[in-house]
Amino acid sequence: MSLVITSKVLSGVLIADIGGRLALFDVTLRERMHEWLEEGHRAFVLNLANVPYVDSFGLGQLITILALIRSKGGQLVLLELTDHVLALFAITKLNTVFRISLEEAHAIESVRIR
């Protein structure tokens, strides 16, 4: 199953709702991120509430995306990780690398570029 990505912009922040598995060989999210950055977006919230599974390839993509955003002077917050994905982030210590939020309003405020 490939990823389903919908996006909207609120208060200057691009919010991407992700659905599906972040898994081997699916580069949809990374490709969309390149498009959004080319459009000039720099503040991102990735809502992962509907992502039940992330493998090592998916983790690698998220790390690549974070590095890409930061290289452009942008900000990223991950929103509403599932219990499984949150546990994976804790095991891999990526919860110390990524900003993670439980509420959309808080995520938007913390990522806004002033």
Burial class (CB within 10 angstroms; exposed 0-12, middle 13-18, buried 19+) of 93 = exposed
**Which pLDDT value is given to residue 55?**
94
Average pLDDT score, the chain: 94
**What are the boundaries of each domain within the chain?**
6-107
Catalogue the E-assigned strands of 1-114.
4-10, 13-19, 43-50, 75-79, 99-101
DSSP 73: T
pLDDT confidence tier of residue 67, bands split at 50, 70 and 90: very high
State how far the Cα of 11 lies from the Cα of 57, in Å rounded to an integer.
31
Which CATH number is correct for 6-107, 1.10.490.20, 3.30.70.120, 3.30.750.24, 1.10.10.10?
3.30.750.24
How confident is the model over 8-47, as pLDDT tens digits? 999 999 999 999 999 988 889 999 999 999 999 999 999 9
pTM value surpassing 0.85: yes
